[in-house]
A and B are shown apart, each in its own frame.
Chain A
């Protein structure tokens, strides 16, 4: 009896951490992403297999695995960025004109968000799904004779996402303006062909 208990005790002591590690790895593999952690205050995770979706104008939907835990209104010119622990994957951008916000998702996880400027009613920003046509770290608009750093071109007629002086009451000629630092981060994440979805009341 003593020997049995002895063996059981040793086995349990050894197996407990191993079991934990194995289960953890399985969870990660099943989700293909990070393990959900409610306790993490920087991120709001959704349960694996029950991801909510965001509707895209072309009729498709995109799953949302996690969102940045930023619930208070972002001020003009500020942004939130946190891609710690988010794996590599498909990147897409959602610009919400009626909310005046932009969110970038990597592998279904939101890694950055900010307040944007967009076109006036006279020169509105187009709605739809736009693959990024071209990138330019340094760009000077030939149309407006103005610097547009970290430009991500969306349409052939000049609409792009670029760094702007984002402040309340301003607007653009149809482009999407984001704060400079955010534009730099966005530029590093997006490659040509990544989709930018612009939604909002027309």
Chain B
């Protein structure tokens, strides 16, 4: 080992190595120290971030991109008009909560409130514009839907406004689970049926007993 070191030290290659190493290290450090200005010159060629972002963007959204249509419909439109029909328009689906209410069936008799007390003449004077052909039952079935205290004018106004229907609100959906009042009604019904059955059976038995005693 020592011999080898000595031989290396004595050889003429060693000074050359040393000089090369010194020069190399100097050059390397210079490169690193001057990295800033050198690099900035190279970086000056780089674009601003926004142009790079633009480069990877698929572009702005086109107006017609939102109007998706099934191919069948598109074909039908083409066939009918011979050319692409009217420009597709954007469709925004409503969210679940604001879904429009189910159409309320409008029947004249059911929706037009008949007046509980006043006669037909005064009604005609208050609302002359309404074609009033439905038979008015005075205080009859049609009036039963209204609270008894409603005055004629107010009742007429409400009736014109849509019959107090479920306009624009959440549609009434029947729940699978009955409400307490329904339960109560159902149980009452069972009680009534049961009581009637029991009474009838008792009656029947007593009748039979009396018949038997008569026969005996």
User: Which residues of A does B touch, CB under 8 Å?
Assistant: 2, 5-6, 8-10, 12-13, 15-16, 19-20, 23-24, 27, 36, 38, 44-48, 50, 52, 54, 64, 67, 70-76, 80, 96, 98-101, 103, 113, 115, 118, 120-123, 143-145, 168-171, 173
Contact = CB atoms under 8 A, between A and B. Distances in A.
A75 B21 contact: no
Contact of A23 (B19, B29, B57, B93): B29
Contact of B36 (A24, A47, A80): A47
Interface residues of B, number: 43
Contacts of B90: 120-122
Given A38-B39, A46-B43, A99-B53, A120 B21 contact: no
Contacts of B46: 44, 46
Contact of B21 (A16, A48, A100, A144): A16
A20 B31 CA distance: 10
Interface in B24-57: 24-25, 28-29, 32-33, 35-36, 39-40, 42-43, 46, 48-50, 52-57
B68 interface: yes
Name B's interface SS. Answer: helix
Interface of B: 9, 14-15, 17-19, 21-22, 24-25, 28-29, 32-33, 35-36, 39-40, 42-43, 46, 48-50, 52-61, 65-66, 68, 90, 92-93, 95-97
Given A71-B55, A120-B92, 17 more contacts: A8-B22, A9-B14, A9-B21, A13-B21, A16-B25, A16-B28, A23-B29, A27-B32, A46-B43, A47-B36, A50-B40, A70-B56, A99-B53, A100-B57, A115-B58, A169-B65, A173-B93
